[in-house]
Chain A
Amino acid sequence: MGSHDVVDRGAVDHDTVPPARKGLLAIACVLLALPIVALMWVSSYSRDEPRLFDFPFFIWYQFLWVFLCSGMTYTAYRIVLVARPHRPMTDEADAGPDAGLDPSAAHSQDRS
């Protein structure tokens, strides 16, 4: 019951992390970290002025971050889809004749 060994004939070793474009992942990480940093840094926004439609800065700034964070998370999502495309594991279970095994699966980032 240990880890599954590689199916041979140039098949993908699924006991590895699927390949990813690290630069893009880094951008996604920054986008995800920004809202956390901004909101944990309370001293940067715990004030009354400038007011917006009578709302204190403290209040409207946090509401603004609801939208900013949503946008950043969605962008990060789109980036991650491109940065690390899904590497199907459907070849892994078959021990017999391969079902569409693609020996170049490890380089899937070159495909669409």
Chain B
Amino acid sequence: MSGVNGVALTVLIGLFALVTIMGFFASRWRRPTSMESLDEWGLGGRSFGTWITWFLLGGDLYTAYTFVAVPAAMFAAGSVSGFFAVPYTIVLYPIIFVFMGRLWSVSHRHGYVTTADFVRGRHGSRGLSLAVAVTGFIATMPYIALQLVGIQAVLEVAGVGGGDNWLAKDAPLFVAFALLAAYTYSSGLRAPAIIAFVKDALIYLVIIVAIIYLPTKVGGWENIFSAAEQKMTTPNPIDGKPTGTFIPGATTHWAYATLGLGSALALFMYPHSITASLSASSRNTIRRNAAILPAYSFVLGLLALLGWVAIAAGTKPIGLDGKPNAQLVVPQLFEDFFPSWFAGVAFAAIAIGALVPAAIMSIAAANTFTRNIYKEWLKPDATPKQEAKISKLSSLGVKGFALVFVLVLDKQNAINFQLLGGIWILQTFPAVVLGLYTRWLHRWGLLAGWAVGMVYGTWQAWNVTNPRAGTEHFGGSLSPIPVIGALGYIALTAFVLNLLVAVVVTLVLRATKAPAGEDETIRGDYFADAGDPRVEKLPTPIHQEAPNP
């Protein structure tokens, strides 16, 4: 695909400009007396009601990377790699219904902004809290980078980004990034919240139009499914095995189920999911949203099917460098079949779909850094104003780092890190979620479990080769489950191991009466709601004894 698609590009730039303006004006929306606190900048004042939370969470969970990578996986490797996103985003909601209410309540009472805050307060362990914080941070970074990859994919299909001059090639990304950084700096979480309206409207519009219009152009759904089946059962020349899966066969059932469940458990451990949830105005906002967010799952399923529509359409996703790149399949499909202006709308949907999560992720990563690294270890007496300042600056730093990552490193690295990030973040689940219910697991047992899960998961991912892509390490996310033998999602296997180790170490520590760490929460905290007062804390560090009154 050579040449710049001028019309599409103009529409893309126009819509992009619109949301940029909205981003800058966002600081005036639900205007606080001051933006100078982590609560206001980093959590939007904890004031978002049901519908804003729906847009924000939807904007957060369904990222540009999702829109680019899920159909790409369906196109290239079939349902086990691509369609698991549907059951994943279905079982996700009962899971978060169950525990997110508690986390919201206890965070409301104690002013927690991150999961590491909660872990410190609940388990009384700075080490465990640091482990959770660092894990959240390093898992978020590649995710941000991949949003920029999503923007790149769109720009590449629009014809921008070719040529040898790296400045011209990457200039659009720089511009997009600079604008994003600027309005996130000034408006904090309000910016992506307001842009999420536009993003979701565009995404719904584009996908619904696509799913109605495109199948008629490629011979109907029966033709689409038989084309997909034919492609997936054709042996791949490199290793002689079928290209992919049409409908998962018995040997892939474990893979499909563990990918779905593992991803669902992990998603809400990411700092950005927590940030979006804690910005809600009440405990029940999340639970209501658990019932209405599945609307996005439906759209995601349709989007995944577009990957197979592309097979029937004969789409050829070739990059500007001449090499096949499955990530380009959806933008390319749109460009091939839609009039240029609508292709531009579709590209804008994806590009804006990158901005919202990139903004939220960078805010969340910044919140974690500020609260759990800077304030905890470097400057314990930081005021809310100083916290907000540090968060703003570190959010810039995080985005800058992601940009460098994308420009300098091979895209495959970003994908590998994201894969690892998913494995890593799930290892914080025991400390956070089980901690919401019980203190039976000892803090050092949890830390040991976390460490084992991290090491095992990383090692297993390192061992996965992908002969088709020519990669020797981090080739995929599946490896044989011990005892069961079938291929399963590495993150979930590591998680089970993590739990086992935590239990065993806890038993040992309890037997040796190791000190348990102080819990600053009470049982009623986990059921608190919007009207309940914040617990007033004494300004002494947690490990110091407060003087007797």
A residues adjacent to B (C-beta < 8 A): 1-4, 14-18, 32-33, 35-36, 39-43, 46-48, 53-56, 58-59, 62-63, 65-67, 69-74, 76-77, 80-81, 84, 86-90, 92-93
Which 3 A-B residue pairs are closest in the complex by CB-CB distance?
A14-B524, A74-B291, A32-B94
Chain B residues with CB below 8 A from A71, complex form:
291
Q: How far is the CB of A60 from chain B (nearest CB, A)?
A: 10
Chain A residues with CB below 8 A from B295, complex form:
70
Q: Which residue of B lies closest to A78 (CB)?
A: B291
Chain B residues with CB below 8 A from A81, complex form:
284
Q: Please pick, from A2, A36, A58, A59, the residue contacting B94 in the complex, using a CB distance under 8 A.
A: A36
A54 touches B220 (CB 8 A): yes
Chain B residues with CB below 8 A from A87, complex form:
524, 527
> How many residues from B make CB contacts under 8 Å with A?
59
Chain A residues with CB below 8 A from B237, complex form:
none
Interface membership of B175, Cβ < 8 A = no
Could you give 11 example pairs across A and B, Cβ below 8 Å? A14-B523, A16-B524, A40-B261, A41-B257, A46-B250, A67-B294, A69-B91, A70-B292, A72-B94, A73-B290, A74-B291
A48 touches B247 (CB 8 A): yes
Q: How far is the CB of B92 from chain A (nearest CB, A)?
A: 9
Q: Please pick, from A36, A54, A58, A88, the residue contacting B91 in the complex, using a CB distance under 8 A.
A: A36
B225 touches A56 (CB 8 A): yes
B523 touches A62 (CB 8 A): no
Chain B residues with CB below 8 A from A59, complex form:
83, 301, 305
Chain B residues with CB below 8 A from A54, complex form:
220-222, 225
Identify which of residues 108-137 in chain B touch chain A, using a CB-to-CB cut-off of 8 Å: 109
Q: How far is the CB of B221 from chain A (nearest CB, A)?
A: 4
Identify which of residues 263-308 in chain B touch chain A, using a CB-to-CB cut-off of 8 Å: 284, 287-288, 290-292, 294-295, 297-298, 301, 305
B518 touches A63 (CB 8 A): no
B546 touches A1 (CB 8 A): yes
A88 touches B297 (CB 8 A): no
Interface membership of B248, Cβ < 8 A = yes
Q: How far, in angstroms, from A40 to B257 measured CA to CA in the complex?
A: 5
B533 touches A66 (CB 8 A): no
Chain A residues with CB below 8 A from B91, complex form:
35-36, 39-40, 69
Identify which of residues 208-250 in chain B touch chain A, using a CB-to-CB cut-off of 8 Å: 220-222, 225, 247-250
B294 touches A55 (CB 8 A): no
Q: How far, in angstroms, from A89 to B91 measured CA to CA in the complex?
A: 32
B residues adjacent to A (C-beta < 8 A): 79, 83, 86-87, 90-91, 93-95, 97-98, 109, 220-222, 225, 247-250, 253, 256-257, 260-261, 284, 287-288, 290-292, 294-295, 297-298, 301, 305, 518-529, 531-533, 535-538, 540, 542, 546
B97 touches A4 (CB 8 A): no
B225 touches A63 (CB 8 A): no
Chain B residues with CB below 8 A from A18, complex form:
524, 527
Q: How far, in angstroms, from A67 to B294 measured CA to CA in the complex?
A: 8
Q: Which residue of B lies closest to A20 (CB)?
A: B527
B522 touches A15 (CB 8 A): yes
Q: How far, in angstroms, from A42 to B254 measured CA to CA in the complex?
A: 8
A62 touches B291 (CB 8 A): no
Q: How far is the CB of B430 from chain A (nearest CB, A)?
A: 19
Q: Please pick, from B291, B519, B538, B546, the residue contacting A3 in the complex, using a CB distance under 8 A.
A: B519
A63 touches B301 (CB 8 A): yes
Q: How far, in angstroms, from A83 to B288 measured CA to CA in the complex?
A: 16
A62 touches B90 (CB 8 A): yes
Q: How far, in angstroms, from A54 to B228 measured CA to CA in the complex?
A: 13
CB contact under 8 A between A42 and B257, given known A54-B222, A73-B97: yes
B83 touches A69 (CB 8 A): no
A89 touches B528 (CB 8 A): yes
Chain A residues with CB below 8 A from B521, complex form:
3
Given contacts A40-B87, A73-B97, A88-B529, 14 further A-B contacts (CB under 8 A): A14-B523, A18-B527, A35-B94, A40-B260, A42-B253, A46-B250, A53-B221, A54-B225, A58-B247, A62-B86, A66-B90, A73-B290, A77-B287, A89-B524
Q: Which residue of B lies closest to A13 (CB)?
A: B524
Q: How far is the CB of B354 from chain A (nearest CB, A)?
A: 25
Q: How far, in angstroms, from A90 to B524 measured CA to CA in the complex?
A: 12
B301 touches A66 (CB 8 A): yes
Chain B residues with CB below 8 A from A4, complex form:
522, 535
Q: Please pick, from A14, A53, A77, A90, the residue contacting B97 in the complex, using a CB distance under 8 A.
A: A77
CB contact under 8 A between A90 and B531, given known A54-B225, A77-B287: yes
Chain A residues with CB below 8 A from B518, complex form:
1-2
A42 touches B256 (CB 8 A): yes
CB contact under 8 A between A86 and B529, given known A53-B221, A66-B301: yes
A77 touches B291 (CB 8 A): yes
A62 touches B532 (CB 8 A): no
Q: How far is the CB of B95 from chain A (nearest CB, A)?
A: 7
Q: Which of B87, B222, B298 has the most CB of A within 10 A?
A: B87
Chain B residues with CB below 8 A from A39, complex form:
87, 90-91, 257, 260
Q: How far, in angstroms, from A86 to B298 measured CA to CA in the complex?
A: 33
Q: How far, in angstroms, from A88 to B540 measured CA to CA in the complex?
A: 28
Chain B residues with CB below 8 A from A36, complex form:
91, 94-95, 261
Q: Which residue of A lies closest to B532 (CB)?
A: A89
Q: How far is the CB of A11 from chain B (nearest CB, A)?
A: 12
Q: How far, in angstroms, from A56 to B232 measured CA to CA in the complex?
A: 15
Chain A residues with CB below 8 A from B109, complex form:
89
Chain A residues with CB below 8 A from B540, complex form:
1
Q: How far, in angstroms, from A80 to B294 measured CA to CA in the complex?
A: 19
